[in-house]
Amino acid sequence: MKLLVIGSGGREHALAWKLAQSERIKRVYVAPGNGGTGTESKCENLPVPGTIGSVEGQQALCTFARQQGIALTVVGPEAPLTAGIVDRFRAEGLAIIGPDKNAARLEGSKVFSKSFMEKYGVSTAQSRSFAEYTQALAYAAEHFKQTDQPLVIKADGLAGGKGVIIAQQYAEAAITLAAFMKEGSLGAAGKAVVLEAFLVGREVSVLAAVSVVPGKPGRILPFIAARDHKRRFEGDQGPNTGGMGAIAPVPDFSEAAAEHFRRFILEPSLRGMEQEGMDYRGFLFFGLMVQDTFCSLLEYNVRLGDPETQALVPLMDFDLTQLCDAILTGTLQDFSFRWKAGAVCAPVAVATGYPGSYQTGYPISLDQERFSQTGALLFIAGAEKKQNPEEDSGLYTAGGRVLGVSAWGKDPEDAWERAYRGMGAISFEGMAFRTDIGCGPPHL
Ligand code: AMP
Ligand code: GLY
């Protein structure tokens, strides 16, 4: 079997690695891939004309899949999904994992996803949606007259992580609303907004396999919980990033909280998807805020999380290609996950300056022998492979988030220890990482 994975980050490296482990798989093409996916066993990078979200790029991928007899395509990021890549592939009879364009609105439009949550009674923060700037401004003014709680402002469309602002005061809310709705700082994505109550708690990511097709009972099978660490600096300080590291499972996500999630988030979401007649055969990410045993849904993402996937993949004691089959054939009820015992700690190394401006093009040195002793996996996010390199690894930095180390351990402390010993075997100019992913250093 030949597979196609679409995307170029650490998530796609982890997915390609895991899919390639299956004995059924001969080749995994990664489009466009990165310096890690290009050299992974059984994997090969595939250049894409334009971008993977563009019509040109999607058409090229579709043609490639048809001509090469690709048995299955797995889509990593949201942009191709919201642009309708699944519809395009299915129209040509090609098997692809992901929601169709209509169902992808669960991530592509916050106004749509909030109204969906409310319609089907999904536990979530109270909110109002606005397409008129003056009305949104009036609502924000009223909010700050009545309470000193922050107001969460969410741009409707995809904004690459820049669409959510937690306004502490009215002035900040007014500036944000003007930028999003009047000045068009986010383009079409900011023309409408959701204004939402601020929630406190700890964030948890529950990723899941979904098989919902119109006219049949659907199924959502949740993975074990994971946690991203979004802030750039230790102690959850500093600006938001694409993720500075992840862990799985999450020790503070109790069985009672998981039960609350299933009853008040997962089940009503499934009912809603069925009743809306959605075609959703893919992965779904529930972004939760958890306080004690009470879960609220912050967002749906219509894909796997990055870097959560890098923390989950080493715990998967099952064939991911078979899970994909079960999603597509509607047989998730017969699929049972097997998760390895123990824990994974997966810190990410970034370029100094990230998430602001940073330099690229530095050689990455890797002490393979020291790294191997940790048993960890190296997943590349933003690095490319060069011919005739100065360093043995052949890798050069090419992005803000450069790489991640995913270490399995018998418990969170063991995983932490192995992950950071792994990090210690890698270096590049300006390399930076948080040391408190998961349990933090044992001496703290
Ligand atoms: P979202 O894209 O909706 O997940 O929002 C991005 C981030 O903003 C989340 O991961 C949270 O850290 C934060 N956030 C979103 N909504 C809320 C909320 N209602 N209360 C507190 N923090 C929030
Ligand atoms: N880790 C958050 C995301 O994938 O959007």
CB 235 within 8 A of CB 394: no
- The two structure tokens encoding residue 68: 């090469």
CATH class of 200-334: alpha beta
Cα–Cα distance for residue pair 318/339, rounded to 1 Å: 8
Cα–Cα distance for residue pair 334/332, rounded to 1 Å: 5
Say what the pLDDT of residue 442 is: 53
Instruction: Return the ligand number nearest the Cα of 153.
Output: 1
Instruction: Return the axis-axis angle of helices 320-329 and 10-20, rounded to nearest 10°.
Output: 90
Q: Using one digit for the tens of pLDDT, what is the confidence trace for 132-190?
A: 999 999 999 999 999 999 999 999 999 988 899 999 999 999 999 999 999 999 999 99
Relative to beta strand 202-212, strand 219-222 is antiparallel
Q: Using one digit for the tens of pLDDT, what is the confidence trace for 98-117?
A: 999 999 999 999 999 999 99
Say what the pLDDT of residue 439 is: 77
Using CB distances shorter than 6 Å, the residues near ligand 2 are 228, 243, 301, 305-306, 308
Mutation pick for ligand 1 pocket among 128, 164, 186, 244 (CB with most ligand atoms within 8 Å): 164
CB 269 within 8 A of CB 189: no
| Residue given tokens 């000193």 in the structure block | 148
Nearest by Cα to 210 from 218, 198, 202, 199: 218
Nearest by Cα to 312 from 405, 244, 249: 249
CB 382 within 8 A of CB 401: yes
Q: Using one digit for the tens of pLDDT, what is the confidence trace for 344-362?
A: 999 999 999 999 999 999 9
φ and ψ at 324, to 5 degrees? -60, -40
Fold of 2-99: Rossmann fold (3.40.50)
Instruction: Return the ligand number nearest the Cα of 283.
Output: 2
- The two structure tokens encoding residue 410: 């018998």
Cα–Cα distance for residue pair 320/313, rounded to 1 Å: 9
The answer to whether residue 319 scores a pLDDT higher than 80 is yes
Instruction: Return the ligand number nearest the Cα of 300.
Output: 1
Say what the pLDDT of residue 443 is: 44
Nearest by Cα to 263 from 242, 293, 227, 289: 293
Say what the pLDDT of residue 10 is: 98
Average of per-residue pLDDT across 237-250: 95
pLDDT class for 441, splitting at 50, 70, 90? low
CB-based contacts of 160, cutoff 8 Å, min separation 6: none
Assess if CATH 3.30.1490.20 describes domain 132-191. yes
Q: Which atom of ligand 2 is nearest to the CA of 308?
A: 1
Calculate how far, in angstroms, residue 405's C-alpha sits from the geometric centre of ligand 1. Answer: 26
CATH architecture of 343-432: Alpha-Beta Complex (3.90)
How far are the Cα atoms of 216, 297, 351, 364 from residue 429, in angstroms, in the given order?
54, 39, 8, 8
Task: Give the DSSP per-residue string, 103-172.
Answer: TTHHHH-HHHHHHHHHHTT--B--EEEES-HHHHHHHHHHHHHH--S-EEEEESS--TT-SEEEESSHHH
Domains of the chain, by residue range, sit at 2-99, 132-191, 200-334, 343-432
Calculate how far, in angstroms, residue 228's C-alpha sits from the geometric centre of ligand 2. Answer: 7
Say what the pLDDT of residue 417 is: 96
In angstroms, the first-to-last Cα distance of the chain is 48
Say what the pLDDT of residue 444 is: 42
Relative to beta strand 72-75, strand 2-7 is parallel
Calculate how far, in angstroms, residue 156's C-alpha sits from the geometric centre of ligand 1. Answer: 13
Query: How does the average pLDDT of the chain come out, rounded?
Result: 96
Residue 277 CB: number of other CB atoms within 10 A? 12
Calculate how far, in angstroms, residue 307's C-alpha sits from the geometric centre of ligand 2. Answer: 7
% of the chain with per-residue pLDDT over 70? 98
φ and ψ at 90, to 5 degrees? -65, -35
Q: Using one digit for the tens of pLDDT, what is the confidence trace for 30-39?
A: 999 999 999 9
pLDDT class for 390, splitting at 50, 70, 90? low
Prediction pTM value:
0.96
Cα–Cα distance for residue pair 85/58, rounded to 1 Å: 6
Nearest by Cα to 239 from 353, 155, 355: 355
Using CB distances shorter than 6 Å, the residues near ligand 1 are 125, 152, 154, 164, 166, 196, 198-199, 203, 287, 298-299
